[in-house]
Amino acid sequence: MIEFKFPDVGEGIAEGEIVRWLVAVGDRVRVHQPIVEMETDKAVVELPSPRSGVIRELRGAVGDTVAVGAVLAVIEEAEETAMAEMKEQARPAAVGVVGELEEAPESEPHAESGEVVPPVLPRDRKLAAELGIDLAAVRGSGPGGRVTEADIRAAGAPAEEAPAPAERIPLKGVRKAMARTMTASARSAVHVTVMERADALALRELRERERALAEGKGVRLTYLPFIVKALTLVLERFPLLNSSLDEETEEIVLHRGQHIGFAVDTPEGLLVPVVRDARRKSILELAAALQELSERARQRKITPAELKGGTFSISNYGAIGGLWGTPIINPPQSAILGVGRIEEAAVVRGGEVVARPVVPLSLTFDHRIIDGATAQRFLNALVEHIENPDLILLEN
């Protein structure tokens, strides 16, 4: 027999939730055959059998949270199963005068059942009958457990309405990881947010021109790929925004690659897939990567590797109608950009008030690393690229 334990899958994962058993007790399994689906705070993964054999025990029910190293299943290896079957076939059967008899199963104990009525005075028994009280269900408070008149009247009194219980939802999986990450961020980083608006008229016109080309390649072209591309260009000029703080060594780490995480709203909670080396990708490549990662994140098919290594993040709450926000930094990063919905707004152009599509931008940064002037200059440069998307194409 071998004990199959929840393995350490890396990424700092300490526990997981049983989503679905893929086998049952008594099933034969092959080596590497998936046994169970486990949900960690990163993704849903299938865990394979380390041996061929028969499942003799499954430990834990669907919904249970188990720690790394805990036993999930007991497997009788193929060799053990073969030996057990040979012994079973060699065991003699019980023989009687009329031939072979099946061995009788071990008998189970049977408990005697009966109704126990506690001691009660005749007058109180009569009172119970009048009130329709079952004396067997009343606990007596008198001497020797005798049921008193007070006990009977209390049993017959209408129960006070209890307050409606509040619904409780376990904090687990993605939501638990998100809560832990956001708490760590709030406790460590010094969050400051600066805000700006960008005129998106030229960006809208560029998107409309390129939309048909993108659709022909099976890509849905939103505004986000353009903003991500603009962001990568500006990050080259402001490397502190693409950095993290190593608190142990008291060093600021300037990251060479630009790996952009973007928040995806899923039924289980917030996931942040990462587009790696975003600076090297074209607008269409970014659009395809954002679309593909978003779909797999919502389907919980994203891999742990695709959720790590980000150097800067974007929260596009404008996609669900949000206008302004103060996003929380995704540690250990030093900044995050919030993008609101693009809507028509009154702006002054050439001394006249005109309606223009405007995109709200919120930049939250860690004031331990980045000062306010640097953050504002970064945001100004980003606005310039959004308002003049030719800069994006020229530097592509």
Going by C-alpha positions, the residue among 250, 238, 302, 301 that lies closest to residue 274 is 302
Residues in the chain: 396
> Is 200's pLDDT higher than 90?
yes
- Residues 23-31 have a mean pLDDT of 92
Per-residue model confidence as pLDDT tens digits over 219-237: 999 999 999 999 999 999 9
Provide φ and ψ at 386, rounded to 5°: -70, -40
Q: Is the pTM of this model over 0.75?
A: no
* Least confident interval from 105-119, 121-135, 209-223, 286-300: 105-119
Per domain, the residue ranges of the chain are 2-85, 123-149, 173-394
Question: Domain 173-394: which CATH class?
Answer: alpha beta
Going by C-alpha positions, the residue among 60, 67, 59, 63 that lies closest to residue 16 is 67
- Residues 312-327 have a mean pLDDT of 93
At residue 23, the 3 state secondary structure works out as coil
- Residues 147-159 have a mean pLDDT of 81
Per-residue model confidence as pLDDT tens digits over 331-384: 999 999 999 999 999 988 889 999 999 999 999 999 999 999 999 999 999 999
- List of E strands, 209-330: 243-246, 251-254, 260-262, 264-266, 269-271, 274-275, 312-315
> Is 105's pLDDT higher than 60?
no
> Is 116's pLDDT higher than 70?
no
- Identify the active-site residue in 191, 255, 367, 385: 367
- Check if 367 is active-site: yes
Per-residue model confidence as pLDDT tens digits over 45-80: 889 998 899 999 999 898 888 888 899 999 998 765
Is residue 312 within 8 Å of residue 370, measured between CB atoms? Answer: no
Give 55's contacts (C-beta < 8 A, 6+ positions apart).
23, 24, 25, 26, 27, 28, 29, 35, 73, 74, 75
Fold adopted by 2-85? OB fold (Dihydrolipoamide Acetyltransferase, E2P) (2.40.50)
- Provide the 8-state DSSP code for 29: E
Q: What is the pLDDT of residue 63?
A: 86
Which stretch, 9-23, 95-109, 341-355, 362-376, has highest mean pLDDT?
362-376
> Is 165's pLDDT higher than 60?
yes
